[in-house]
């Protein structure tokens, strides 16, 4: 089926206009169909992005609040009681509130910001534009995907306001803590809402993911063979595959949890005596089973977060080095290897659960194997810069920052993947440092890189560069200042998820460091507000884009009009004649994918 | 408070205005020229960041290394192996870290845009790619081999004939309960449904119960149960048999470099050989308040952060003296059977059986 026909079948919007060769939309679009229940992938992308940004602010704010407790454990802040009420009696966050904040922060950042906000945004925005399609395979399912995410958001948000508080057992939600209403106040209504929200979220991811896969496989424009796809698309493709194969497993884990919570089954429960309640009837379940189901998604999930960032960084590094990406096939191959291995390493999160030691050894081997494709990617990025002509656009700055962070955090993965060392480091601040650097901050950098790079395409305006550079340098320095010293806390054995270390002889002497980290965290948070101001101000007041291809880029999205309508290209969809990375070839600065191969062109 | 908010907003506004103004200036001066200038500045900053970053890494180490456990000897024999493995890993990843970060920022700085440079159209080299597939693979193999040797050692259990001390460790919201097998060297049966917070916190089976189809297990009668502090012996392997009464906890023993989850319904084990008594460790650390702590390392509820246990490492003689003073938990539940109280509590005839000696 051609793009035209597909789109016609589903929305009937663009194709009729193409036939007439009109350049903009004359038909009636109400506010609702254009901005709310839009089926245009570009609008849906923006919806994902802005919802993700709202969550990023909320999640970030939560981290500032709980860092306040860690950094200033003996100070009180009366204004906290003003905003949090009973959760901050006397101006100090209570343990209940602390754990609720940590849990919500983790859940929201991992799933709502770095999954929906990142791949939701860029898969939607870039796939049709870069493969040369008028829209997603199913614009309607795509719209549903956003609205499921939106409802997940609403439910999660409402859980913050229930009497017993939101769920507070950590983003991994291990039962029995998460299964027993009486084990913790957060495991009452808060947990029900948490699961409902997550279930809705899984539906959203599946709808989105299937759509992305089908679009990439079936709707590439003429000449766009798989090996001519930009690396962004490859990355988004593997991301979607990972999601589609692993989210259902998570959902099944949640369903069993719902049964254990509400219908008296014993999938995860056995031999339990709860204080204040007494012995429970459940016998024969395994609490570890949930961890297997969780991490079977959980580990792929970290790559679901990371791969889109890797893809965008590859693209942005190449464009702004004015040089082809080094080792295109190796880049695709390593993405593939990572995607496969991502399914085979989940138990490295479970080395100290009493896992069979032999099984543990296998997981050590497979885990450290992932470091090989990761190393290939790093060296290929470095070689891409070598003898290039580097333009430090804000997107490029964040892309370079990404590589730096990925190196730093990937290397500590080698420590944790080795089970004997993990016995020492598991669940300490070392792990917190590892995954924030390699996943949290690095993927955030990928996201910022993407936003800065494609903002002109999204809104037809530029972001302010000066603000962008300030934003970059504060965030870059801040990320390292916050998370680098945490390795030392971990090496001192400091456990994670502690409300206070003051009563511990072994861990209490990092008070000054904790204060420092909390202070930097607030500054970095303020810098993100600066970014938000820039973002929203520039949507309406930014400098207008006048150049259809402002970065001198080869990919298809820059052949569309500056403000593309629904359907993306007013006339025919362009045909593709080459890969996306002919930069600096035969003395030409760049050769767009739409340029036919010349007779005298050198071969590569 | 309002003042702070006002100041923050003011700072934001100023930055914002400057940023806008610089945009207008750029347009006036000629955008291309302005862009090139900014490029130079950022290229320079990249280089500066690298230098500052490397200094920062060194400085951070200066400040905090001495606070980590690496500055102290490991308190267990097993931990020494883990420490040495940690050093090897640190050496390898440290070298890679420094080299790659320098290359990254150096390339960014060195190859910043210049009108003179013609980019090198270079997009493939099987030789190079093979190089950076094989070399990391070799180093990783070395790490895996070291790692698995240690892993097998620490998960293998105490060697035959090492006469390990066996202690059962149970996590409960939010405390640690320890049990020694007592004179018979056997842990009596327990069943969670007979747990009673008043005097049977582990649910030891020391009563007949037709309803639960259970018979009094005499092996429980000499089991010694205590909370918060556990005594272990220097140079003698200790094996913890770990479980939980409610949610998942984790026995975290940072000075011994050990850790194991406490899972309800599924017992786990952990063993190590303490090297220094608590008293010796006070000297080594120079901290008169030093104490070996058990930290709960698995999120278990709102007092997770306060789930603290203590390990007292003592010599065998001290341990024997201490042990002799302990009273089986059975007598707390059945005071009338306590031989120590026999003289006071009138003669109870044949009921006052002394627990099986064996
Ligand atoms: C490349 C991107 C990576 C991402 C996004 C990532 C993400 C994460 C996350 C989120 C955790 C924390 C889980 C938790 O305890 O709640 C984690 C832990 C872990 N990571 Fe990574 N990681 C990455 C790379 C690596 C690499 C390359 C390795 C190994 C070579 C690795 C090995 C581990 C291990 C073993 C743990 C468990 C540590 C523990 O819980 O004690 N990671 N990682
Ligand atoms: Cu993982
Ligand atoms: Cu705990």
* Contact present, A177 and B250 (Cβ < 8 Å): no
Q: CA A359 from chain center: how many Å? A: 30
Q: Is residue B249 part of a domain?
A: yes
Distance CA B154, CA B260 (A): 12
CA dihedral A361, A363, A369, A375 (to 10 degrees): -120
Question: Searching chain B, which residue's CA lies closest to the CA of residue A187?
Answer: B301
Nearest by CB: B121 against A288, A481, A585 = A585
Distance CA A369, CA B308 (A): 37
Do B68 and A492 count as a contact with CB atoms less than 8 A apart?
Answer: yes
Q: Which ligand is located closest to the Cα atom of residue A102?
A: 1
Considering its fold, how many domains does chain B have in total? 3
- Both B320 and B291 in a single domain? yes
Residue A323: HSE in the Cβ half-sphere, 13 Å Cα cutoff = 27
A14: Cβ–Cβ under 8 A, 6 or more apart, which residues? Answer: A7, A134, A135, A565, A566, A567, A568
| Boundary residue ending a domain (B102, B134, B155) | B155
Which atom of ligand 1 has the smallest separation from the CA of A496?
15
Nearest to A139 by CA among A61, A60, A37, A64: A37
Ligand 1 pocket test, pick from A413, A432, A441, A442 with the greatest ligand atom count within 8 Å of Cβ, gives A413
CB interface of B with A, residues 309-348, below 8 Å: none
pLDDT recorded at residue A598: 85
The C-alpha of A266 sits at a distance from chain B's nearest C-alpha, in angstroms, of 12
Q: Is omega for the bond preceding A31 within 30 degrees of 0, making it cis?
A: no
Residue with tokens 């003073």: B325
The dihedral built from the CA positions of residue B225, B227, B231 and B232, taken in this order, carries a sign that is positive
- Both B204 and B265 in a single domain? yes
* ipTM rounded to 2 decimals: 0.92
Q: Is residue B240 part of a domain?
A: yes
Q: Among A69-83, A154-168, B337-351, which stretch is predicted with the lowest mean pLDDT?
A: B337-351
Give the three-class secondary structure for A297: helix
Q: Is residue B343 part of a domain?
A: no
- Both B270 and B170 in a single domain? yes
Q: Is B117 on the interface with A (CB under 8 A)?
A: yes
CB interface of B with A, residues 232-291, below 8 Å: 245-248, 250, 252, 254-255, 257-261, 263-269, 287, 289-291
Choose, out of A295, A495, A514, A583, the residue to mutate when testing the contact with B (most B CBs < 10 Å). A495
Strand extents, DSSP E, A257-381: 273-274, 278-279
Nearest by CB: B248 against A177, A360, A499 = A177
Q: What is the mean pLDDT of chain A?
A: 92
Do B129 and A330 count as a contact with CB atoms less than 8 A apart?
Answer: yes
List the beta bridge partners of residue B264: B244
Q: Where are the domains of chain A?
A: 3-269+288-587
- Both B130 and B172 in a single domain? no
Ligand 1 pocket test, pick from A345, A417, A428 with the greatest ligand atom count within 8 Å of Cβ, gives A417
- Both B201 and B322 in a single domain? yes
pLDDT recorded at residue A11: 42
Q: Report pLDDT digits (tens) over A442-467.
A: 999 999 999 999 999 999 999 999 99
Give residue B51's domain range: 7-113
pLDDT recorded at residue A74: 86
> In sequence order, what DSSP letters do the residues of A1-43 get, joined into one string?
--HHHHHHHHT-SHHHHHHHT-SS--S---HIIIIIS---HHH
- Both B196 and B268 in a single domain? yes
- Both B217 and B250 in a single domain? yes
Q: Which residues of A touch B261 (CB under 8 A)?
A: 352-354
Ligand 1 pocket residues where CB is under 6 Å: A 172, 302, 305-306, 348-349, 367-368, 370-371, 374, 410, 413-414, 416-417, 422, 425-427, 431, 434-435, 438-439
- pTM beyond 0.90: yes
Do A354 and B268 count as a contact with CB atoms less than 8 A apart?
Answer: yes
pLDDT at A28 > cutoff 80 = no
Q: Which residues of A touch B289 (CB under 8 A)?
A: 505
Q: Is residue B98 part of a domain?
A: yes
- Both B109 and B198 in a single domain? no
- φ, ψ of residue B228 to 5 degrees: the values are 60, -45
In this structure, CATH architecture of domain A3-269+288-587: Up-down Bundle (1.20)
Do A392 and B39 count as a contact with CB atoms less than 8 A apart?
Answer: yes
Model confidence band, residue A39 (pLDDT cutoffs 50, 70, 90): confident
pLDDT recorded at residue B253: 96
Do B123 and A364 count as a contact with CB atoms less than 8 A apart?
Answer: no
Do A423 and B104 count as a contact with CB atoms less than 8 A apart?
Answer: no
- Both B51 and B139 in a single domain? no
Distance CA B309, CA B251 (A): 9
pLDDT recorded at residue A235: 97
Q: Report pLDDT digits (tens) over A252-271.
A: 999 999 999 999 999 999 99
Instruction: Extract the residue ranges of chain B whose pLDDT is less than 50.
Output: 345-358
pLDDT at A574 > cutoff 90 = yes
- Both B272 and B140 in a single domain? no
> In sequence order, what DSSP letters do the residues of A62-91 get, joined into one string?
HHHHHHHHHH-TT---HHHHHHHGGGGGGG
pLDDT recorded at residue B343: 54
- Both B134 and B109 in a single domain? no
CB interface of B with A, residues 7-66, below 8 Å: 8, 12, 15-16, 18-20, 22-23, 26-27, 35, 38-39, 42-43, 45-46, 49, 53, 56-57, 60-61, 64-65
A27: Cβ–Cβ under 8 A, 6 or more apart, which residues? Answer: A13, A17
- Both B204 and B307 in a single domain? yes
Tokens at A537, concatenated: 């101000």
Nearest by CB: B261 against A275, A353, A389 = A353
B127: Cβ–Cβ under 8 A, 6 or more apart, which residues? Answer: none
pLDDT recorded at residue B344: 52
Distance CA A159, CA A154 (A): 9
Distance CA B184, CA A414 (A): 46
Nearest to B65 by CA among A484, A479, A140, A319: A484
For range A398-414, the mean pLDDT: 97
> In sequence order, what DSSP letters do the residues of B158-223 get, joined into one string?
SPTTS--EEEEEEEETTEEEEEE-TTTT-PPPB-GGG-BTTTBTT-B--S-BTTTTB---GGGTT-
Model confidence band, residue A5 (pLDDT cutoffs 50, 70, 90): very low
For range A291-306, the mean pLDDT: 95
Q: Is residue B328 part of a domain?
A: yes
Q: Which ligand is located closest to the Cα atom of residue A410?
A: 1
For range A561-577, the mean pLDDT: 92
pLDDT recorded at residue A27: 57
Q: CA B108 from chain center: how many Å? A: 39
Q: Which ligand is located closest to the Cα atom of residue B299?
A: 3
pLDDT recorded at residue B12: 85
Nearest by CB: B301 against A79, A183, A353 = A183
Nearest by CB: A404 against B101, B150, B151 = B101
pLDDT at A3 > cutoff 70 = no
pLDDT recorded at residue B116: 86
Which residue minimizes the CA distance to atom 29 of ligand 1? A413
Residue B102 to residues A177, A327, B81, B123, B214: CA-CA distances in angstroms? 45, 21, 32, 22, 69
pLDDT recorded at residue A1: 39
**Above pLDDT 90, what percent of chain A?**
87
């Amino acid at each position: 089926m051609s793009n035209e026909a597909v789109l016609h079948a589903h929305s009937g919007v663009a194709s009729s206009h193409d036939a007439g060769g009109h350049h903009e939309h004359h038909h009636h679009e109400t506010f609702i169909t254009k901005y709310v229940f839009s089926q245009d992938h570009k609008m849906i992308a923006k919806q994902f992005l802005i919802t993700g940004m709202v969550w990023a602010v909320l999640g970030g704010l939560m981290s500032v609040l709980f860092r306040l407790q860690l950094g200033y454990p003996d100070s009180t802040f009366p204004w906290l009681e003003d905003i949090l009420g009973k959760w901050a009696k006397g101006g100090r966050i209570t343990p209940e509130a602390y754990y609720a904040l940590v849990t919500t922060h983790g859940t929201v950042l991992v799933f709502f910001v770095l999954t929906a906000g990142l791949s939701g945004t860029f898969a939607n925005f870039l796939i049709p534009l870069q493969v040369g399609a008028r829209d997603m395979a199913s614009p309607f399912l795509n719209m549903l995907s956003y609205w499921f995410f939106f409802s997940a958001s609403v439910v999660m948000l409402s859980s913050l306001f229930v009497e017993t508080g939101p769920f507070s057992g950590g983003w991994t939600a291990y039962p029995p803590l998460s299964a027993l209403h009486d084990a913790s106040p957060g495991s009452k209504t808060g947990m029900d809402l948490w699961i409902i929200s997550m279930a809705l979220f899984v539906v959203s991811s599946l709808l989105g993911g299937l759509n992305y896969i089908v679009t990439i496989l079936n709707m590439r424009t003429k000449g766009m063979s798989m090996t001519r796809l930009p690396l962004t698309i490859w990355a988004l493709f593997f991301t979607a595959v990972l999601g589609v194969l692993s989210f259902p497993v998570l959902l099944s884990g949640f369903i069993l949890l719902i049964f254990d919570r509400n219908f008296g089954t014993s999938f995860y429960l056995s031999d339990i005596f709860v204080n204040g309640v007494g012995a429970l009837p459940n016998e024969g379940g395994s609490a570890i089973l949930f961890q297997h189901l969780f991490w079977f998604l959980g580990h792929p999930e970290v790559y679901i977060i990371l791969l889109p960032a890797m893809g965008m960084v590859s693209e942005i590094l190449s464009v702004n080095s004015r040089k082809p990406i080094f080792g295109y096939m190796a880049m695709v191959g390593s993405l593939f290897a990572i995607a496969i291995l991502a399914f085979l390493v989940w138990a490295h999160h479970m080395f100290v659960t009493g896992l069979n030691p032999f099984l543990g050894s296998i997981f050590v081997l497979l885990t450290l194997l992932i470091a090989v494709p990761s190393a290939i990617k790093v060296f290929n990025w470095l070689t891409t810069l070598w003898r290039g002509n580097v333009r430090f656009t804000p997107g490029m700055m964040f892309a370079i920052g990404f590589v730096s962070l990925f190196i730093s955090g990937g290397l500590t993965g080698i420590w944790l993947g080795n089970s004997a060392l993990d016995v020492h480091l598991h669940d300490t601040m070392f792990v917190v440092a590892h995954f924030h650097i390699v996943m949290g901050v690095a993927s955030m950098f990928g996201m910022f890189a993407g936003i800065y790079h494609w903002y002109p395409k999204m809104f037809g305006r530029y972001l302010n560069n000066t603000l962008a550079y300030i934003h970059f340098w504060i965030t870059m320095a801040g990320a390292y200042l916050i998370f680098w010293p945490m390795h030392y806390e971990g090496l001192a054995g400091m456990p994670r998820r502690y409300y206070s270390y003051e009563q511990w002889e072994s861990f209490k002497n990092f008070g000054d460091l904790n204060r420092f980290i909390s202070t930097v965290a607030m500054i970095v948070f303020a810098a993100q507000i600066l970014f938000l101001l820039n973002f929203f101000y520039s949507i309406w007041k930014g400098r207008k884009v006048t150049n259809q291809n402002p970065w001198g880029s080869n990919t298809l999205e820059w052949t569309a009009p500056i403000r593309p309508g629904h359907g993306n290209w007013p006339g025919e969809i362009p045909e593709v004649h080459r890969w996306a990375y002919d930069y600096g070839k035969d003395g030409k600065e760049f050769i767009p994918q739409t340029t036919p191969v010349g007779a005298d062109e050198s071969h590569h | 408070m309002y003042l702070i908010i006002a100041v923050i907003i003011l700072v934001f506004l100023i930055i914002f205005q400057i940023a806008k103004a610089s945009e207008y200036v750029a347009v006036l001066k000629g955008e291309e020229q302005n862009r090139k200038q900014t490029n130079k500045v950022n290229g320079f900053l990249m280089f500066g960041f690298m230098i500052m970053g490397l200094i920062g890494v060194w400085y951070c180490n200066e400040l905090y290394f001495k606070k980590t456990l690496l500055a102290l000897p490991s308190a267990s024999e097993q931990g020494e192996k883990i420490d040495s493995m940690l050093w090897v890993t640190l050496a390898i990843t440290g070298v890679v870290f420094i080299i790659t970060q320098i290359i990254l920022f150096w390339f960014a700085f060195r190859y910043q845009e210049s009108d003179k440079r013609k980019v090198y159209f270079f997009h493939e080299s099987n030789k190079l790619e093979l190089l950076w597939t094989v070399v990391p693979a070799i180093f990783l193999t070395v790490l895996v081999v070291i790692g698995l040797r240690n892993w097998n050692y620490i998960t293998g259990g105490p060697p035959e004939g090492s006469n390990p001390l066996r202690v059962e460790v149970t996590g409960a919201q939010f405390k640690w309960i320890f049990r020694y097998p007592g004179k018979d060297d056997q842990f009596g049966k327990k069943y969670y449904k007979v747990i009673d917070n008043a005097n049977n916190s582990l649910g030891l089976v020391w009563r007949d119960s037709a309803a639960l189809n259970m018979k009094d297990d005499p092996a429980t009668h000499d089991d010694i149960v205590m909370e918060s502090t556990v005594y272990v012996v220097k140079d003698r392997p200790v094996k913890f048999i770990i479980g939980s009464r409610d949610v998942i906890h984790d026995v975290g023993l940072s000075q011994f470099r050990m850790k194991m989850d406490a899972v309800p319904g599924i017992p786990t084990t952990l063993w190590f050989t303490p090297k220094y008594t608590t008293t010796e460790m006070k000297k080594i650390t120079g901290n008169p308040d030093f104490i070996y702590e058990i930290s709960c390392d698995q999120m278990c509820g709102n007092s997770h952060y306060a789930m603290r246990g203590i390990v007292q490492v003592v010599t065998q003689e001290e341990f024997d003296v201490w042990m002799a003073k302990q009273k089986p938990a059975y007598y707390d539940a059945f005071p009338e059977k306590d031989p120590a109280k026999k003289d006071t509590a009138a003669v109870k005839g044949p009921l006052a059986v002394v627990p099986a000696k064996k």
